A and B are shown apart, each in its own frame.
Chain A
Amino acid sequence: MSKVVGLTGDEAVAYAVKQCDVDVIAAYPITPQTVIVEKLSEFVANGEIDAAFIPVESEHSALSVVTAAALTGARVFTATCSQGLALMFEILYIASGLRAPVVMAIANRALSAPINIHCDHSDTMGARDSGWIQLYAENCQEVYDLIFQAYRIGENPRVYLPVMVGLDGFTLSHTLERVEMISDEEALRYLPRKPCYKYPVNPDNPATYGPVGLPDFYFEFKAQQAHAMEEALRVIPEAMKEFEKISGRKYYFFEPYKVEDAEVVVVSMGSTAGTVRYAVKKLRKEGLKVGALKLTVYRPFPEREILETLENAKVIIALERALSFGAVGSPIFEDLRSAFYDYDKHPLIANVVYGLGGRDFTVEDAIGVFKYGLEIARKGKVEKKVILWGVRE
């Protein structure tokens, strides 16, 4: 029997982790992830979780501690965002290179400078090449649900990759929403059996982890990682289907909304996807043919499935909360354009950057973006590839 509670995004993470039989938690506080850390330490202090909670002295050590712990086959967890994620940057690559299935929650927050504690996706986007699987939540229910799925995906022997779950800083992390929980038994049945690592550290079977890989071998290990990312494209929907069986809630690489006959589709991630969907509802009432695609899985990028889903749109707007300085456009925009390049259908694709540093993006803004997309459809071409929505000049 499922329990319905009110939880903030940070709390949802903590409650989900609590049900995952985690063994080692190490985290360093950073706004707006702090409540995750505080809640987990409360659970440990009360004996509600049987895990080691290691209050590390920096995020770099947080990821180092859990990556090493993961090598013993333990189930581990950490959380961070923004500067903390940036600080652990080298260890991100080490965790994925070692194939340690770490799960990390990221309360998406802008990167300094200037310092800003509010939501944007620059932090996780900066890590998109690090070999981590990236999942993004639209609401607190998804935050809760994606944690279980993250363990199931990352610890799958065909994958063995670390997974980050993004939740919008403040917008989700600190907002109370309705969350339906699964039972402890259902959670444990859904999660893979331990050990969580392929070659757990054990003195009875000594092995060496993290050697020097010279030019004659390094490339092969990267090929293995690339292969695992491709396998993840198969493992992810399987894990999501199994989750649906327990929870009744459907998950997929993305969630399309009225895209079948849409002229303009806005692709977005995180809480903004809800705003965009609401704008679609409003605009459809006016007879405008618009649709929304909420991207849940960003890495691996579900190229084939997105092409098939969006191929009939006239215009696709990549609405992104991250800016890739000096690039042709923002990350999702570039992935979409790249995917469609070889395809037989070619919707016009434009990039709208919004909400950096936590600037609010309202329903009116979303409607404005759709109108912008309809303009592009009318003109038949993208005049400006990237626009910065609402920036004062």
Chain B
Amino acid sequence: MGCERMSVRLTELPREELIAPGHAACSGCGSILALRLVLKALRPDETAIVCLATGCMEVVTTLYPRTAWRIPFVHLAFENAAAAASGIVEAINVLKRKGLFRSKKKVHVLAIGGDGGTFDIGLQALSGALERGHKFVYICYDNEAYMNTGIQRSGATPFAAWTTTTPVGKKIPGKPEFKKNLIGIAAAHEIPYAATATIAYWGDLIAKVRKALDAPGPALIHILCPCPPGWRFDTHLTVKVSRLAVLTRFFPLYEVEYGRRVRITVKVPKPLPLIEYLKIQGRYRHLLKPEYADLVKKLERSVNEFYEWLEYMEKVTSKG
């Protein structure tokens, strides 16, 4: 079984909730849990300014005149979280230099986008911001579809998954394309730190966010966030689904430094069969039918190939 990063202790994490309850996130929402965990990574002398793209998280937390955010929150549009963060980071640097910005705590700038606002429409702004090297952390909360607009497919939707724009029809059973490799894209920019994380492995997630906050340049964390209404499972299973994603190797937890050094942070030497992950979600229900067995095989092959490739990269790039 995978093990947790024990360098983070639950009792030492901040008790304060920087996202106040009373917002409109779905019961059992994996994304809001992910954001809550990200903010738990802040150390006592740190705070953050959040630049959030349009999407589930933005809409459910900021319905005028109510806001769940207890830290500064900026929302411009769907595709420019990274651009907004770039502007805020550099403005603060200049204002500090001119003696016009003061804050009691050390300020981090977090650009946060869903898979829609990151993989697809937000990719350009993300690429620009990573290339320019601003010191900020990009958090992608990935619920694997455009959930806020009603579960339409995104570039992050996995192969064969049902969504409202990749329905399981007689001709085409679910999404024909494979998931985009976001860490690969981030790594191509050779940023100091890029990593995957998910909510079940809270210690791994928090340790990675801290590494990202401390990185001397842009960092990106790609968090898998199960979504009860979108993935079709009951609300109490959100954390379990994310755990199974890791234990079946479907969503490996790894990190890449400067686009070169790869490390799998939660090793899965004996994976559970992929079907354990698929059968718990309604969006893969069709894959339980014998006529779609070849799709399951295709998915298994791609999952195993990628994990093996990660193991190889880890071996080849480790510092001995």
Contact = CB atoms under 8 A, between A and B. Distances in A.
Q: Do A and B come from one complex?
A: yes
Contacts of B74: 68, 71, 201, 209-210
A58 B131 CA distance: 13
B76 A72 contact: no
A203 interface: yes
Contacts of A69: 87-88, 90-91
Contact of A91 (B80, B92, B97, B127): B80
Contacts of B261: none
Residue among B49, B69, B86, B98 having the largest count of chain A Cβ atoms under 10 Å: B86
Most chain-A Cβ atoms within 10 A of its Cβ — which of B63, B75, B102?
B75
Contacts of A38: none
Contacts of B80: 60-61, 64, 91
A307 interface: no
Contact of B71 (A91, A194, A203): A203
In the complex, which of the residues B47, B48, B94, B131 has the most CB atoms of chain A within 10 Å of its own CB atom?
A: B94
Interface residues of A, number: 45
Contacts of B125: 57-58, 60-61, 64
B87 A24 contact: yes
A75 B234 CA distance: 49
B147 to A, nearest CB: 16
Contact of A208 (B59, B67, B93): B67
A75 to B, nearest CB: 10
B73 A68 contact: no
Interface residues of B, number: 49
Contacts of B86: 26, 54, 56, 61, 65, 68
B137 to A, nearest CB: 15
For B80, B98, B132, the residue with the greatest tally of chain A CB atoms inside 10 Å of its CB is B80
Nearest to B52: A210
A194 B99 CA distance: 11
A218 to B, nearest CB: 8
A206 to B, nearest CB: 5
Contacts of A57: 124-125, 127-128, 131
Contact of A203 (B90, B104, B128): B104
Nearest to A61: B83
A65 B90 CA distance: 9
Most buried by A among B64, B79, B103: B64
A59 to B, nearest CB: 11
Nearest to A217: B64
A65 B84 contact: yes
Contact of A55 (B65, B97, B132): B132
Contact of B88 (A58, A91, A201): A201
12 contacts: A54-B132, A67-B84, A72-B95, A201-B74, A202-B102, A203-B71, A203-B103, A204-B102, A207-B72, A208-B73, A209-B72, A211-B62
Interface of A: 23-24, 26, 50-52, 54-58, 60-61, 64-74, 76, 90-91, 94, 98, 194-195, 201-204, 206-214, 217
